[in-house]
Amino acid sequence: MSPADAAFDGTCPADTAPLQFLQSPAAHLGHAGAVQAVETIETHMSWVFLAGEHVLKMKKPVRYPFLDFSTLAAREFDCREELRLNARLAPGVYLGLMALQERGGGLALVPEAQLPTAGRTVDWLVLMRRLPAGRMLDHLIAASLVTPGEIDALARVLADFYRRAPAARVTPPEHLARFQREQAVNREVLLHPAFGLPGAAAALDALDAALARHAPLLLARAAGGHVVDGHGDLRPEHVCLQQPPVVIDALEFNAALRAVDPFDELAFLVLECEIAGASWIGPRLLASCAAALRSAPPAALLQLYTAYRAQLRARLALAHLLEPQPRTPLKWAPLAERYLQRSLAALERVSRAIPPNQA
């Protein structure tokens, strides 16, 4: 879920019956038993229902440039991809699929193992085991409760995942072009006249220059097979520091967005931990993963990844203000400025690095 995720505000699409049903404790008797209340969370792409020890996620029938959930078949496929991909880093958390069916004039949740039935499936949901909120990394950072040993355990899980991850089917030019495309979108949003974001133009120009200067490093990472089918959205709110740690919410809806250098993803997680107030996590996590993977990129490229991710996060923060009814509107511009400042700091370190052709 994104930082914009918030409790469901009661706004429903035209067909409110499925949502009203799924917000009812009676809907969940079959899988969760008797629960007193169902907590509902709305994201840009899903509705999430927390019932007892279980979580159910239903995709919204939406279409964006990067995903299409507009048909029942597409949503079913995506649910299955979510199960498959999250089995890698969250074994035992994703439990299966539930069919939302019309039967006897009403609605019912039916485990996939009990199909087929006489009912008609109108949607699909992913069933998950509910993780303890207090063990999520973002909560632990906020409470200053993260220990070095827990970060070491997380590093072992992530390093093992990246060792096993298959190489992504992306050529070196395609890998470089992805950064250039995203930077073009960053420029469009961060320079939007409605925002007047201080320092945005300078930060964008500096990142453009750094991408051009260090393009050979990006090309070399792809050519060396260091771009893999990764997690795609490695953030503290997706990390649960149980024993062993698990990482949920792999990005399932667009394989191209999961084609990453592991150290690009790790730089993203380190950035988010730093923004949340735990800058000590980054050096320890990166050192452990670098030692385990034996494929760390040059320091300049790691800083470039940080700068790129920070500008991407600044863009996503401001993009909330382009929505018709943005949630927590006062939050996003200051957050975008923080990310831009972090990007500029990383770019200053990149600019001091030795050019690739002189290394």
pLDDT tens digits for range 182-204: 999 999 999 999 999 999 999 99
Identify the CATH number of the domain defined by range 137-358: 3.90.1200
Cα four-point dihedral sign 271, 272, 277, 283 = negative
| Cα 37 from chain centre | 28
The region of weakest confidence among 13-17, 109-113, 303-307 is: 13-17
Q: Which residues pair with 102 in a beta bridge?
A: 107, 120
What pLDDT score does 15 carry?
A: 65
Dist. CA 162–CA 139, nearest whole Å: 25
Say if residues 186 and 327 touch (Cβ distance below 8 Å). Answer: no
Helices (H) and strands (E) counted in the chain, each on its own, are: 12, 13
Crossing angle for the helix pair 332-351 and 299-319, to the nearest 10 degrees: 160
Is the predicted pLDDT of residue 333 greater than 90, yes or no? Answer: yes
Chain segment 31-64, per-residue pLDDT in tens: 988 899 999 999 889 999 999 999 999 999 999 8
The reported pTM is 0.90
Is the predicted pLDDT of residue 1 greater than 50, yes or no? Answer: no
* 320 Cβ contact list (under 8 Å, min separation 6): 4, 326, 327, 328, 329, 332
Q: Where are the domains of the chain?
A: 6-130, 137-358
Listed ranges 3-7, 53-57, 327-331; the one with the highest mean pLDDT: 53-57
Share of the chain above pLDDT 70, in %: 94
Q: Average pLDDT, stretch 86-96?
A: 98
Task: Provide φ and ψ at 90, rounded to 5°.
Answer: -140, 60
Provide the H-helix boundaries in 37-133.
72-86
Say if residues 89 and 231 touch (Cβ distance below 8 Å). Answer: yes
Chain segment 246-284, per-residue pLDDT in tens: 999 999 999 999 999 999 999 999 999 999 999 999 999
Chain segment 97-150, per-residue pLDDT in tens: 999 999 888 999 999 999 999 899 999 999 999 999 999 999 999 999 999 999
